[in-house]
Amino acid sequence: MPRDVSAEACSGLVGVAIGTASAQSENGYVAEILGWNPNAPGRWTIGSVAVTTTSGWSRARLGPYDFRITAPLLAQSLRAESPDVLHAYTDPHLLLGPSRHLKLLHYQTPVPEFPGWAYTHLVNRADAVVCCGRLIREEFLERVRFPAERVFEVHNGLDLARFEHTNGAELRREWGIPDDVPVVLFAGALVPEKGLHVLLEAVSGIEQLENIEIVVAGSASLWLTPENTNNRQSTAYENQIRQLASGLRMRWLGPVPASAMAGVYAAADVCVVPSTWDEPFGMVACEAMAAGTPVIASARGGLSQIVEQGETGLLVPSSNPEALRSALLTLISNTDWRLRIGANARERAREFSWESVARRLDDIYSEVGLRFGGAHDTDLPSAGVNSEHSLRRIR
C-alpha cells in the first residue's frame, strides 16, 4: 500500500482498492482502506480516503495456514468502529470483521481449486460476492456453494482522466529513441506468471525484430509476500530474464507510479501482455488501450474479455513465442492498421471507469438489501456510508 500514489508503484489489487474507495468517496461515502505495508505501517490519507496499514505478524502461521497478513488486518478491523459496509478483498477470513449493514467479498484473484468446508462457511458470511470478471465468477460458482443470484460481475475501472492528454513523443525523445524505432512495452511484475520470458524468447534472434526496443516497467517487488520482502530487487526469475535479454535493445524502468504510466503506455507502439496464467481481469491491457496503444495479449482469462481480436488488439496462445512473434511482426509492419487498432482500443477503454464501478456497487448494495435482506440490517443511507475496504495482497 503506497503512501504517495503519484510517486510509488503498486500492484493491480492495491490499485483497485484505491480506485474503488476514491470513487465511492466522491459519491459521498466515508471510505477507509485497511491494508498491508511491511516497510512503513501507519495511518495516512490518499485524497479523501483514510488508509491504515499493518506490517504483518511473523508468527501467525500455523502449518499450512498462513495468517501473517490476515490476522493483523482482522485485529485492526475489530478494534475500529464498525462500518456500515465491510468490503473484503479475496480472503473470506476478513469477513469475520464487524459491519452494521452489509458484508461483501470481492475477488480479484483466482478462487482456490479445493476450497473445503471451512472456506465455504466463511464465504457464506458475505451478503454478496463480487468478481472482477466472468472467469472468476464462473470459477467461484463451480467451486463454492453460494447462491448464484448474489454473485455479481463488476469489471475494474480506470482513471480515464490520466490518459486524456498523454504525449508519448516527449518521453521517447527523453529516452533517445528515434521515431522509426518500434517500442514494445511490457508492464507488470517480473514473475513467471506475467510471462516476460515469453516475449524475450519471441524476439530473440529474429532479424526483422532486431530494430525494436523493449521497455520494461515493473519489478518483482510488485508482488510482495511475506517471503520476499527482504529480497525484492534481485530474484532468480529476474536473473533469468536478464540472461534472456542479453543482446536485445532493452530499457529497464523499474517500478513506475501510476501517475507516470500513462506516458509510458503512450510512448509504446505495442503493449504485450504475455501472461502464462489466467489473469482475473487484465488491468495492464486496459490501461494500454486507454492510452491508444494496441495490445497483444495471451488468449486466456480476463484478457479475452478486455481485448477484442483484430479490433482493439490481438490475442495469441499463451506461452507460445512463435505466435507472439508473428503477431508482433504483423502489427509493427502495418502502421496504418496499428494506428486504427489503437484508436479502437481507446474507445473501448472508455467503457471502464471507477465512477461506473462505484455506481455498480451502489446498485449491488441496494439489490442485496431489497431482494435478499442480507445477514444484517440493510437500510443503508444514500450517502455518508462508512465503507471499510479490507485489503489483501496477492500471494
Residue range 142-193, pLDDT digits in tens: 999 999 999 999 999 999 999 988 889 999 999 999 999 999 999 998 999 9
Return the pLDDT at 384: 29
| pLDDT confidence of residue 393 | 21
3-class DSSP state for residue 60? coil
Rounded CA-CA distance 367/376 in Å is 14
CA distance 60 to 324: 43
360 band by pLDDT with thresholds 50, 70 and 90: very high
Q: Which residues fall within 8 angstroms of residue 142, CB to CB, at 6 or more apart? A: none
User: Using an 8 Å Cβ cutoff, are 185 and 217 in contact?
Assistant: yes
Whole-number pLDDT of residue 163: 92
Q: Is the domain of 321 the same as that of 385?
A: no
Res 298 pLDDT > 80: yes
For residues 269 and 227, which has the higher predicted lDDT (pLDDT)? 269
Residues 336 and 294 in one domain: yes
Question: If DSSP codes are grouped into helix, strand and coil, which group holds residue 185?
Answer: strand
Q: Are residues 235 and 257 in the same domain?
A: yes
What are the grid coordinates assigned to 65, written together?
495456514
Same domain, 145 and 212: no
Q: Is the pLDDT of residue 382 over 50?
A: no
Domain membership of residue 369 (yes or no) is yes
Beta strand residue intervals within the chain, DSSP E = 30-36, 42-46, 49-54, 61-62, 65-66, 85-89, 102-107, 128-131, 151-153, 183-187, 213-217, 250-254, 270-273, 295-298, 313-316, 386-390
* 144 and 80 part of one domain: yes
Q: Does residue 20 sit in the same domain as residue 149?
A: yes
pLDDT of 108 over the 60 cut: yes
More confident call, 93 vs 228? 93
Is 345 a member of any domain? yes
- Name 187's bridge partners: 217
Same-domain status, 116 and 204: no
Q: Look at residue 108 and tell me if it is in a domain.
A: yes
Q: Residue 352: what pLDDT? A: 93
The whole-number pLDDT of residue 353 equals 92
Q: What is the pLDDT of residues 325-342, one digit of tens each?
A: 999 999 999 999 999 999
The amino acid sitting at 317 is: P
Same domain assignment for residues 305 and 370: no
pLDDT at residue 230 in the model: 44
Which of 54-63, 214-223, 287-296 has the highest mean predicted lDDT (pLDDT)?
Answer: 287-296
Instruction: Write down the pLDDT at residue 307.
Output: 95
Same domain, 118 and 56: yes
Q: What is the mean pLDDT of residues 16-40?
A: 88
Are 165 and 271 in a shared domain?
yes
Q: Is residue 6 part of a domain?
A: no
The mean pLDDT of 76-95, rounded to a whole number, is: 89
Q: Is 98 part of any domain?
A: yes
Of 69-78, 86-95, 105-114, 328-337, the poorest mean pLDDT is in 69-78
Residue 7 lies in a domain: no
Torsion of CA 80, 82, 86, 89, to 10 degrees: 20
pTM of the model: 0.85
Of residues 226 and 358, more confidently modeled:
358
Number of domains in the chain: 2
Mean pLDDT of the residues in the chain: 86
Residue 169 lies in a domain: yes
Q: What is the dihedral of CA 348, 349, 354, 359, to 10 degrees?
A: 0
Residue 267, pLDDT above cutoff 90: yes
User: Is 72's pLDDT higher than 90?
Assistant: no
Tell whether 74 and 208 lie within a shared domain. Answer: no
Structure-model confidence comparison of residues 386 and 342, the more confident one: 342
Q: What's the pLDDT score for residue 12?
A: 79
| Backbone φ and ψ of 177, nearest 5° | -100, 120
pLDDT of residue 372: 55
Q: Give the per-residue pLDDT at 371.
A: 60
**Predicted local confidence at residue 55, as pLDDT:** 84
The C-alpha cell at 346 is 481507446
Residue 218 identity: G
pLDDT > 80? residue 272: yes
Residues 347, 313: contact at Cβ < 8 Å?
Answer: no
Average pLDDT over residues 48-76: 85
Mean pLDDT of 91-105: 91
Read off the CATH number of the domain in which 204 is found.
Answer: 3.40.50.2000
Residue 71: is its pLDDT beyond 60?
A: yes
- Evaluate if residue 374 carries a pLDDT over 80: no
Domain that holds residue 150: 12-157+353-390
Average pLDDT over residues 67-73: 88
The secondary element (H helix, E strand) that includes residue 322 is helix 321-333
pLDDT at 81: 84
> Which one, of 66, 44, 62, lies nearest residue 53 by Cα?
44
Higher pLDDT, 306 or 377: 306
In a domain, 5, yes or no: no
Span of 176-185, 208-217, 308-317, 334-343 with lowest mean pLDDT = 208-217
Q: Flag whether pLDDT at 389 surpasses 80.
A: no
Q: By three-state DSSP, how is residue 57 classified?
A: coil
Same domain, residue pair 358 and 293: no
